[in-house]
């Protein structure tokens, strides 16, 4: 009986030892995982392994995220990779217009080729061995055909006939000298051909540009801006041609190429007088040297359109005096251009003429006739399609080009 009791005691002790070992192992296993990492804040209470999940401590060499990068994993560069900077739009390079000085001289070859009828044609006639009445009539026809005008032609021929009769020679060099002197007198180098481009009494000079459709008026405004920028002037453009849809865009493009701002309306068909007023006002606020206002092309025989041009002028003058009104004429239109000039002069006080396409005509006499008709000088001439082919008019270079 006693032996059986000891057997039961031994069995119980063995079971207690085994159970105790199991409990110790279980407790150690739970305690080791708990020390390595607490449970995350996610629902479900899932244990978190070291270095994984929201609560993991990032490596010391991990890239830092800025406030701007918050919430965007894609903006972070991979470890060890250089940070990619955002692309920056390149600053457009402004063009440097060619100096206006000597442009007409530089383009003399082009002008002399197109005006051979007035220059070389006359020299060929005048240097003949004998000048009878038929020859002098041919000289007159040549001059009138070059748009010199009847009055100027008569004056020139009378002077030449007197010189030939007095000197008794038709030597080509001598005749050329006489012709140059007489043509230069007709072109009149004493006229003031400077374009208003400097501040006047603390305000910008205001230049109003007018003309009919097709004369290249808006292009002329853009080229004039280049001429003035080349002279280091601060220029503001006013796109008051609100009837032609592309006019404001065209002018703005011209200005942007040389860093000149353009004041324009946001809608087509806006009041051109209001745009012109705003342009002059903006020029004053920017302390610009000159404001150039482009206007819509007018048909000189349309009374309503011409009246509207008069309104543009009056509205501008509420803000500032107008210092220059440039009339753009197509040199190839001849006598029709003179009729246009007369009508415009009645509506606005034209102070200067811009002759475009002078390289495309043999009628260089238009320079003389338009000056006589209006009593104002030709100030600028267009001699090609290039951006710097608008030149300040130089009477001596012009006459020399005719006779080359």
Q: How do beta strands 378-382 and 390-392 pair?
A: antiparallel
The reply, when asked if residue 215 is annotated as ligand binding, is yes
Cβ of 402: how many Cβ atoms within 10 Å?
27
The reply, when asked if residue 295 is annotated as ligand binding, is yes
The reply, when asked if residue 14 is annotated as ligand binding, is no
The reply, when asked if residue 357 is annotated as ligand binding, is yes
- What residues pair up with 239 in beta bridges, in sequence order? 294
Q: Which runs of consecutive H residues, i.e. helices, occur in 95-171?
A: 103-106, 108-114, 120-126, 133-145, 150-167
The reply, when asked if residue 217 is annotated as ligand binding, is yes
The reply, when asked if residue 233 is annotated as ligand binding, is no
Q: Which of 388, 365, 367, 385 has the alpha carbon at shortest distance from 376?
A: 367
The reply, when asked if residue 214 is annotated as ligand binding, is yes
The reply, when asked if residue 301 is annotated as ligand binding, is no
The reply, when asked if residue 216 is annotated as ligand binding, is yes
The reply, when asked if residue 334 is annotated as ligand binding, is no
The reply, when asked if residue 109 is annotated as ligand binding, is no
The reply, when asked if residue 190 is annotated as ligand binding, is no
The reply, when asked if residue 333 is annotated as ligand binding, is no
Contacts of 84 (CB under 8 A, 6+ apart): 77
The reply, when asked if residue 358 is annotated as ligand binding, is yes
The reply, when asked if residue 212 is annotated as ligand binding, is yes
Three-state SS for the chain is CHHHHHHHHHHHHHHHHHHHHHHHHHHHHHHHHHHHCCCCCCCCCCCCCCCCCCCCCCCCCCCCCCCCCCCCHHHCCCCCCCCCCCCCCCCCCCCCCCCCCCHHHHCHHHHHHHCCCCCHHHHHHHCCCCCCHHHHHHHHHHHHHCCCCHHHHHHHHHHHHHHHHHHCCCCHHHHHHHHHHHHHHHHCCCCCCCCCCCCECCECEEEEEEECCCCCHHHHHHHHHHHHHHCCCCEEEEEECCCCCCHHHHHHHHHHHCCCCEECCCCCCCCHHHHHHHHHHHHHHCCCCEEEEEECCCCCCCHHHHHHHHHHHHHHHHHCCCCEEEEEEEHHHCHHHHHHHHHHHHHCCCCEEEEECHHHCCCCCHHHHHHHHHCCCEEEEECCCCCCCEEECCHHHHHHHHHC
The reply, when asked if residue 359 is annotated as ligand binding, is yes
The reply, when asked if residue 145 is annotated as ligand binding, is no
Binding residues for GTP: 211-218, 294-298, 356-359
Binding residues: 211-218, 294-298, 356-359
């Amino acid at each position: 009986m006693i032996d059986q009791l000891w057997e039961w005691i031994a069995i119980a002790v063995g079971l207690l030892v085994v159970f105790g070992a199991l409990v110790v192992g279980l407790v150690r296993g739970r305690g080791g995982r708990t020390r390595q990492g607490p449970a995350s804040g996610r629902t479900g209470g899932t244990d978190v392994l070291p270095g994984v999940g929201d609560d993991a401590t990032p490596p010391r060499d991990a890239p830092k995220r800025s406030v701007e990068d918050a919430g965007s994993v894609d903006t972070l560069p991979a470890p060890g990779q250089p940070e990619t900077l955002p692309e920056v739009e390149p600053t457009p390079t402004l063009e440097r217009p060619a100096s206006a000085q000597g442009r007409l001289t530089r383009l003399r070859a082009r002008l002399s080729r197109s005006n051979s009828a007035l220059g070389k044609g006359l020299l060929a006639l005048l240097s003949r061995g004998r000048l009878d009445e038929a020859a002098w009539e041919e000289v007159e026809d040549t001059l009138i055909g070059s748009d010199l005008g009847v009055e100027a032609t008569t004056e020139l021929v009378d002077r030449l006939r007197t010189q030939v009769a007095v000197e008794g020679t038709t030597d080509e060099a001598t005749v050329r000298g006489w012709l140059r002197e007489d043509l230069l007198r007709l072109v009149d180098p004493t006229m003031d051909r400077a374009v208003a481009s400097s501040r006047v009494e603390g305000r910008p000079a205001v230049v109003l540009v007018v003309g009919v459709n097709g004369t290249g008026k808006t292009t002329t405004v853009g080229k004039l801006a280049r001429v003035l920028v080349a002279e280091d002037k601060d220029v503001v453009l006013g796109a008051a041609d609100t009837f032609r849809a592309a006019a404001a865009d065209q002018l703005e493009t011209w200005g942007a190429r040389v860093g000149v701002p353009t004041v324009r309306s946001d809608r087509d068909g806006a009041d051109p007088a209001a745009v012109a007023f705003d342009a002059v006002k903006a020029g004053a606020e920017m302390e610009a040297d000159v404001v150039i206002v482009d206007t819509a092309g007018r048909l000189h025989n349309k009374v309503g359109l011409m009246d509207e041009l008069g309104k543009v002028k009056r509205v501008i003058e509420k803000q500032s005096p107008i210092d220059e009104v440039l009339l753009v004429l197509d040199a190839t239109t001849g006598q029709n251009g003179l009729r246009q000039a007369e009508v415009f002069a009645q509506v606005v006080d034209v102070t200067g003429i811009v002759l475009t396409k002078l390289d495309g005509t043999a009628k260089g006499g238009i320079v003389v006739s338009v000056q006589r008709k209006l009593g104002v000088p030709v100030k600028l001439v267009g001699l090609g399609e290039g951006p710097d082919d608008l030149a300040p008019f130089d009477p001596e270079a012009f006459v020399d080009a005719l006779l080359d």
